[in-house]
Amino acid sequence: MNKFQCQHEAATRISALGITSWALNSSNLSASPLLAGCAYKAKAKTGFSNNSLSTKISSAFVIMKSLVGVAHFFVLAFALVSGAPLERRATISIPSKELWIITNPAPATIIQPGPGNLLGQVSIANGNNEIDTIVSFPLGSNPAPTSGSKCQFVLQGITPTGSGIVQLFTLGGEVVSPLKAGKVPYYNQYEGQYNVKTSPSKPIDVTYVPCNFDSDGLLQFVIRPQNTDDSLKWTQSSTVGAFLEYTP
């Protein structure tokens, strides 16, 4: 059998066995005398034995797998980098700029009127003489909350007596100065209870509050005592008092 007949027969036998060039090894080569003979001729011309040829092919296969692995690594790394957010948005914290201390129930007496008042008080004694505080948060130059923003009400740096739990409500209208008796808007939507014994306060049943700043860029709430003998007082500052926090 000449060289070309041997190669043709070897290719036919290899195809019939379903063997690819990467699966070529000494056991396959010895599948028939003809293939063994072709392998012998290859050895005579190239100096490679069956085992040597298999070793060379196996080494090439390992190298190829390594290259594929490296390629997959770079593809994955690129995907992670390109898909990662560039920067985590900072939380904006707005301190209350205007506070009104009032009595409850209506008609309310104005104990400490805004503007300029920074004193806050929420108290009740033996179920009577309830005192509430209206807090006002101005948006100012801060970016407005988006539809995906979540606003949180926070009290911090305050040492309460009693249960240390307060209630929060929205108002049925905007409070403007000078606030007069009988002009306090009604208490509207319940916005949860807050434990002020931790600092910052911890929401008990409502985690987020509405982010609905009005046309004047204000968001207002009223703080009430929860139980029958509670008291907390503070002087509002950039670190103490009532705050509205959100991520734009």
Q: What is the CA radius of gyration of the chain?
A: 40
| pLDDT given for residue 8 in this prediction | 53
| pLDDT given for residue 101 in this prediction | 96
pLDDT in tens, the chain (248 residues): 555 555 555 555 545 545 444 444 444 444 444 444 444 444 444 444 455 545 554 554 445 555 445 455 444 444 444 554 545 568 999 999 999 999 999 889 999 987 789 999 999 999 999 999 999 999 999 999 998 999 999 999 999 999 999 999 999 999 988 888 888 999 999 999 999 999 999 999 999 999 999 999 999 999 999 999 999 999 999 999 999 999 98
DSSP the chain: --HHHHHHHHHHHHHHTT--GGG--HHHHTTSHHHHHHHHHHHHHH---HHHHHHHHHHHHHHHHHHHHHHHHHHHHHHHHHHS-S-PPPPEEEE--EEEEEEESSSPPEEE-SSS--EEEEEEETTEEEEEEEEEEE-TTSPPP-TT--BEEEEES---BTT-EEEEEEESS---SSP-TT-PPPEEEEEEEEETTSSS-EESS---B-----TTSEEEEEEEE-SSSEEEEEE--SSSEEEEEE--
| pLDDT given for residue 107 in this prediction | 85
| pLDDT given for residue 54 in this prediction | 52
Give the integer Cα–Cα distance in Å for 187 and 21: 83
| pLDDT given for residue 114 in this prediction | 76
| pLDDT given for residue 248 in this prediction | 87
Give the integer Cα–Cα distance in Å for 50 and 35: 11
| pLDDT given for residue 179 in this prediction | 87
| pLDDT given for residue 132 in this prediction | 98
The pTM of this model reads 0.65
Give the integer Cα–Cα distance in Å for 28 and 13: 10
Q: Domain ranges for the chain, please list them.
A: 3-83, 92-246
Backbone φ and ψ of 50, nearest 5°: -55, -45
- The CATH code of domain 92-246 reads 2.60.120
